[in-house]
Structure 1
């Protein structure tokens, strides 16, 4: 799977889990809190993949600039 797909799937998982924890289960109970923690873990994983995608793009731009400087 590509990093883009992983990032969006984990983000979708966060939205679904957070929606279940907030709107379906009563607030402050163990099950609601557990689901919300799982959703936050999913959000952190999604953030990791988004950062990885952006950093790889930034790395490619820097690599092109360095190649242009070497070519001069």
Structure 2
């Protein structure tokens, strides 16, 4: 029974330590800006045609956003 209490105590201590460590690292983490880009199916069009934007325009938009 004593061994179970020691194991339980060590487990609780370890989990508490990990929780504190995670909280500290979260506090000191630098903020980052995330840009989410979404596209709809461009139907395999390489050049713009009608409603299809085309892969060329999508690639240009990605290059512009990265810059």
TM-score class, shorter: 0.3 to 0.5
Q: Which has the higher helix share?
A: 1
TM-score calculated relative to the size of structure 2: 0.44
TM-score calculated relative to the size of structure 1: 0.41
